[in-house]
Amino acid sequence: MPVSKARRTLSKLYVQVLIGIVAGVLLGHFYPALASQMKPLGDLFIRLIRMLLAPIIFASVVVGIARMNDLHQAGRVGVKALLYFELASTIALIAGMVVVNVIKPGSGMNIDPSQIDAAAISTYTHAAQQHGMLDFLMSIVPNSIVGAFAKGEMLPIIFFSVLLAISLAKLGPRAAPFVDMLDMFLQGMFGVVRIVMYVAPIGAFGGMAFTIGKYGIGTLASFGELMLCLYLTSFFFVFVVLGLVMKMCGLSLWKFLRYIRDEILITLGTASTEAVLPQMLIKMEAMGCSRPVVGMVLPTGYTFNADGTAIYLTMAALFIAQAMNVHLSIWDQLLVLGVLLLTSKGSAGVAGAGFVALAATLASMHTIPVEGLVLLLGVDRFLNEARAVTNLIGNGVATVVVARWEGELDKDMARAVLNRENTAHFRTPGAAAQPAVTSTSTTESAVRSSAH
């Protein structure tokens, strides 16, 4: 391979992230003691991204809604998004339940609940006590908006942003200077994101090295059947269910996955979809989804549309029941599914949130021993990678669906971007009210990023 071509290949972000993941696996396998100390590298990258999430989500939502000509549109987008989220989550839960019943990965383990030391899961069970539906609804309204920004609490920030955006929209032209200033601030934040993404390969390396170094590749063999179930179901959900959904929207899922490959690999390495939320906001708008739809659907989907987490939750709950010889009738399983429909909401894009949701589910049912969570501790990080990637893809597809449903998707532009064609003559739908330079620069920078 010529030097110039090799240099161009190595300059691509997804190649660098892939190298980081492979290097992390090798270090974790051959030098586990050293690899287990690499965790701060992954954590530092996540912290860099989290530092940007609150201001980016706030500015995206406010600018998007404030520039809507019709405020009823914001309500329609929200309702359509929630309807789609609920349908997708239900399909994911059912898919997980069917596969785990057919393969039965926990059968034959014959675990005695009385012999399990539950001390290792005390953190999760304590967190699960604050995971009820009422607690979740109350958490949407913050005691202080400053506190919500300081703690990086996404739902309260989105709630406040929507209220502020509606009030600004009602002010009309008088609010335009403030909205323009917020838009300029948003472009600056996206610039910071592009700088932070230079350290993504290091973050992926640190996260993967720590996982393999601490838990070992041998852990995969011990729970291989459960992992196989989860990965197969996730593949089915992405390529069959989401593939069908994208086809109904007139777009190719495979080309969309190629378009967000950088984000998929970073999520795989860090096991967190939060790490790529700013980049996803840029890319979804760049491929023709209007800014108001992207700003509302994508951040909200991180809480309400965790498809991969939904698959994991049914599988993990029924796996524990099978391992402990707890017989569940079809009605018991449907009850589990119903409870999971509630507890799965509020699972953020942070690693480990699904584990808390599972603890909340088991604690609320009193059928499957909560102590069984100990069985999943060693392998949860590996399972988390599959569900995080599925969550990421699911939320990207959800944004396309709602934009298409609302008539705010430029299909010609989307096809051009996914086919890697020239998009200079396109305008993102909903961008007419925005300064042309800002809209164009955002789109071009995102397409340039995807091309690399």
* Local structure of residue 289 (DSSP, 8 states): B
For the chain, which residues make up each domain, given as ranges?
Answer: 13-69+77-451
226 against 235, higher pLDDT: 235
Is a pLDDT exceeding 90 seen at residue 392?
Answer: yes
User: Comparing 25-34, 183-192, 211-220, 440-449, which segment has the lowest mean pLDDT?
Assistant: 440-449
The per-residue DSSP string of 145-196 comes to HHHHHHHT-HHHHHHHHHHHHHHHHHHGGGGHHHHHHHHHHHHHHHHHHHHH
Would you state the pLDDT for residue 439?
37
Is a pLDDT exceeding 60 seen at residue 121?
Answer: no
Segment (H or E) for 351: none
Is a pLDDT exceeding 90 seen at residue 242?
Answer: yes
Round the average pLDDT of the chain to a whole number and report it: 78
Q: Tokens standing for 289?
A: 């989804």
Compute the average pLDDT of residues 403-411.
91
Write the CA distances from 243 to 93, 239, 248, 250, 354, integer angstroms: 18, 5, 9, 11, 24
Grade residue 349 by pLDDT with cuts at 50, 70 and 90.
Answer: very low
Please, what sign has the CA dihedral across residues 84, 88, 91, 97? negative
What's the CATH architecture for 13-69+77-451? Answer: Orthogonal Bundle (1.10)
Q: Residue length, the chain?
A: 452
User: What amino acid occupies position 308?
Assistant: G
Would you state the pLDDT for residue 445?
45
User: What amino acid occupies position 100?
Assistant: V
Measured between alpha carbons, how far is 149 from 9 in angstroms, rounded to an integer? 39
2 against 209, higher pLDDT: 209
pTM of the model: 0.75
Would you state the pLDDT for residue 443?
40
Would you state the pLDDT for residue 434?
39
Would you state the pLDDT for residue 55?
87
Torsion of CA 435, 437, 441, 443, to 10 degrees: 50
118 against 206, higher pLDDT: 206
